[in-house]
Structure formats: structure tokens, C-alpha cells
Structure 1
Amino acid sequence: MDSIWMVLGLALLPALGNFGGGLVAEVSRTTGRRLNYALHGAAGLVIAVVAVEIMPRVLESLSAWLIALSFALGGIAYVGIEKLVEGIQRRQGQQRESGQTSVWMIYIAVSIDLFSDGLLIGAGSAVSLSVALILAVGQVLADIPEGFAAIANMKDKGIPRSKRLLLSASFAIPVLSAAVFAYFVLRSQPESFKLAALTFTAGLLTVAAIEDMISEAHESGEDTHVSPLAFVGGFVLFTLVSAGLEGVLVQS
């Protein structure tokens, strides 16, 4: 792929999907149960990104110790980010019970996922247009429920609408910045470095999905039998769409 504008255009798709999901939450009634289902579905989609798109690629080329190290560093980095946010909230005199910390950790979790989307798309563009396109379109599916859940969570915590919309629009920043980074930096690096970066992202995503999205889902509403089905449905949906897109592009 020759043009940075093509990469940015593909990277913008997940951001638009996230913003669209947020608009749905703005114009509809958001209950604790719906938020629970949306967060479970989003977590399933995020885990599918790791299991279906990232790990199969790295397992083919990287050694086990490098995969383990990169994944662990990603998880540790997320914990460090969480501690940093909690420290800032404490210095501002806000207690966790106020819900502000959980809102910001959901925001950071979604931002990290969008950053990884940009990283995947930018790195995928170094391989081929078809790979970047599959990753971009696939990520839209995960970002729609994520956007809904993020805005619904903010509504539940009493964040003003103007601030909610601004935060929702700001999700474009991490995905576009990551795409630019991957395009200009990762493209010139050895293949092992690119795959290690993706594995690092997988560690971030996994901790974000389990520790924050699922935890917040449990706090938002009581689990029902639909909750795990929403998680499974998110995973299945991403897997089928990703496989379908890849099949169509290969045939064409």
C-alpha cells in the first residue's frame, strides 16, 4: 500500500463504528442489563481479535519465549496504566465509589483497543491491502458495541452529554495515531519486531477485556443466561465475518 491516506481511511472505519455505537446509546434507553450485554459482547469481540487475528499470526513465526515475554509486557503495561489513572483520581479527591475511575478505565480500555486496531491496520498494510482491509472491517464489529457500552456507562455515571460526545469523538485519536506509527515505524522493522508488537497489543487487549469490560459488565447489571451468550456471540460474529472477508478477498 503506497499511500498513507489509504491507511488512515481504513483506520478511520473502527473509529466511526465506535462513534456510531455511541450515538445509538445517546438516542436510546440504556439500562443496566443492556449495558451488561453490550460489554459482554464487546469483550467477546476483543478476545476474538486476539485469538483469531493476532495469535495465529505470531505463533507461526515467533518463538514461545518471545510470545510469552511480549504478551506479559502488554499485560503489565495495562496494569501500570490502571494504577496511573487511579493515582490521578485520588489526587483529584475522587473516590472509586463515585464511579469516575471506572468510567476512565472503560475509556482507556476502549482507547487501547482502538490503538491496537490502528496498529493492526498499519502493520497489516505492510503485508497487503487485503490484510489491512480485513482487519479494518473486522474491527468495526467490535467497536460498535464498545462505543455503545462506553457512552451508556458514562450516561449511567452522570457524565454530561457534551462531554460524552467529545470523548466519543476523541476515540479517533488513538486509532489514527497508531496507524500512522505503524505505517512509518513498523513497516521498516523486521517481521519479528512487528509480530512482537502485535503480541504486546494482545496482552493489553486481554487484560482490558477481562479486568475492565467484564468487571464493569458485572457492576452495571446482574448477569443472566444471556450475558455469557452475548460474550460467545461477539466471539462467533467476529470469527465468521473475519473468515468470510478473507475468503472473498482470496477469491477475488
Structure 2
Amino acid sequence: MPELLSVLLVALIPAGANFVGGVLAEVRAVSQRALSAALHIAVGIVVAVVGLEVMPRALEVPMPWVPMLAFVAGAGLFLAIDAAADRLQNRGNGRAWAVYGSVGLDLFSDGVLIGTASVLNPALGVLLALGQAPADAPEGFAAGGALRRAGVGRRMRLLAAVGFVVPILVGAALGFLALRQAPDMVTFSVLAFTGGALLSLALEEMLPEAHDQFTSRRDAFYLTVGFALFAAVSVYVSVE
């Protein structure tokens, strides 16, 4: 299917940016200050993705209460992931893997957006992927840095960084194939569900991890920078 292959190749653009961020966390020492800053930027980006892209689109359907419920259900998914993370924390690196999971969910939502946009216009999917790329690099850095500081081995960290390609490709394939024949209500409810899980993970896992690493008066500034970064992408890279 040439069309699907094209969509998957486009989805590799933000996945590649995420991988570059993870590699950067490998080649330079990750200080507590740097990791905290990257996590705050990543949280700001996640909030912007959900608030500026996912939910506004999801609420355009005739019965917006359905995506709203899906949004809440997505938060329920977070509870299941958080329970698994609590078990992992007994091995000392649960929160780092929770950060990894939240970044993976963000990439999944990126993939869904790219896939659904490509159904409307292939060029639209390319523009959206290019716009998301600079937002994914700090998330890859934060995830890699969190795993590194948690004592996860380099081989596992590199495999984890490569593994980020899976959620975005799955999301892109879902958006392009499974959802292109589905009613708008289903498509946007899936987006809202993902957004609810993503936002909950960012606020309950990534943000506490950032504060555990380092706190300063600049924290809110970094979070705002992350939000503004994606806001700029949303404004100056047309996705209509």
C-alpha cells in the first residue's frame, strides 16, 4: 500500500527527532538541572498538544460530550499504567519508566494526528510531522535522561529509544487505516482518550519526576517555553 508507506515514512520525522533527543542524553552528562528543565519543557509541550490540538479538534463533533467522556476514560488508562509503575518502583526505576510511557503516549497521539491529517491531504500530514519534530526532541532527551539517572543499562536505554518508533507508527497506521472509514465521532473520541491519558501521565509522573530532580524558580518558565514552542508550531505550521 504505497499511501500507507508514505504516511509511515512521514511519521518517522518526529520519531527521528525524539531519537536524537535520546542520543543527546547518552553523549552528554545529564545533570539534575538539565533533566528537570527538559521534563518541564516536555510537560509544557504535552499540555499544549492536548489543549491546542487534540481537544479543540475533538470537541468539533455534534455531540462533544462523547469525546469528553473519552477524555476522562483516557485518564483511567493512566491509573492502570500508574499501578504497573508502582510495582516497578520496587526495583527503583518505576518513575523513569512512567516518564518513558508518557512520552510514548505523546508519540502515539502524534501518529494518530499525522495519519488522520494524511487522509485529508498528504501534504498536510507532512507539515504536521515537521511541526511536531522540534517538540519531540526534548521529550526524547527527558526520557533517556530519566532512564540513565535511574541506573538503566545503556543497551536497554538505546533499545528503549529505538522502541519509540513503535507507538508513532502504530498511531499513524491507526489514523490512516482504521479511522479513515470511521465516523468522526469515533476518530475524535480516540484522540480525546489519548489526550486524557497523556495529560494525566504528564502531570502525575513527568512533573513530579522533574521536581524530584531539581527545583528552581525557572521551572514555570521552562514549562511555559514548552507550551509556547508547540503553540508556535500550531500557529505557523498550517494543519488545516
Matched to 1:134, the amino acid is L
Instruction: Render the CA deviation track for 1:130-183: whole Å, top value 9, x for unaligned.
Output: 432233123212210111011111111111111111111111011112211222
Segments of structure 2 that go 5 or more residues without pairing to the other structure are none
Q: How does 1:25-40 map to 2 (within 5 A)?
A: 25-40=25-40
- Equivalent residue number for residue 229 of structure 1: 221
Larger deviation, residues 35-44 vs 181-190: 181-190
Q: How far did residue 64 of structure 1 move?
A: 3.5
Larger deviation, residues 154-163 vs 18-27: 154-163
Task: Report the 3-state secondary structure (helix = DSSP H, G, I; strand = E; otherwise coil) of the residue aligned with 1:3.
Answer: helix
Matched to 1:197, the amino acid is V
Q: 2 CA distance for matches of 1:163 and 1:106?
A: 15
Q: 1 CA distance for matches of 2:169 and 2:143?
A: 19
Q: How far did residue 2 of structure 1 move?
A: 6.7
Instruction: Render the CA deviation track for 1:3-58: whole Å, top value 9, x for unaligned.
Output: 11111011111211111001111111211111110000001011111111112212
Q: How far did residue 99 of structure 1 move?
A: 2.9
- Equivalent residue number for residue 63 of structure 2: 63
Q: 1 CA distance for matches of 2:22 and 2:133?
A: 13
Q: How does 1:5-44 map to 2 (within 5 A)?
A: 5-44=5-44
- Equivalent residue number for residue 241 of structure 1: 233
Matched to 1:28, the amino acid is R
- Equivalent residue number for residue 105 of structure 2: 112
Q: What fraction of aligned residue pairs are identical, expressed as a percent?
A: 38
Contact kept in structure 2, 1:21 and 1:145, CA below 8 Å:
yes
- Equivalent residue number for residue 144 of structure 1: 137
Contact kept in structure 2, 1:134 and 1:242, CA below 8 Å:
no
Q: Is 1:100 aligned to residue 93 of structure 2? A: yes
Q: TM-score, normalised by structure 2?
A: 0.93
Contact kept in structure 2, 1:38 and 1:145, CA below 8 Å:
yes
Contact kept in structure 2, 1:46 and 1:142, CA below 8 Å:
no
- Equivalent residue number for residue 54 of structure 1: 54
The verdict on how the C-alpha distance between 1:129 and 1:212 changes in structure 2, with shifts beyond 3 A counting, is same
- Equivalent residue number for residue 74 of structure 1: 74
Q: 1 CA distance for matches of 2:15 and 2:122?
A: 19
Q: How far did residue 78 of structure 1 move?
A: 1.6
Contact kept in structure 1, 2:118 and 2:125, CA below 8 Å:
yes
Matched to 2:6, the amino acid is M
Q: TM-score, normalised by structure 1?
A: 0.89
Q: 1 CA distance for matches of 2:176 and 2:149?
A: 38
Segments of structure 1 that go 5 or more residues without pairing to the other structure are none
Equivalent residue pairs, number: 240
Matched to 1:16, the amino acid is G
Residue 216 (structure 1) aligned to one of 209, 214, 234: 209
Q: 1 CA distance for matches of 2:138 and 2:234?
A: 17
Residue 169 (structure 2) aligned to one of 171, 176, 179: 176
Task: Report the 3-state secondary structure (helix = DSSP H, G, I; strand = E; otherwise coil) of the residue aligned with 2:152.
Answer: coil
Contact kept in structure 1, 2:18 and 2:136, CA below 8 Å:
yes
Q: 1 CA distance for matches of 2:57 and 2:97?
A: 31
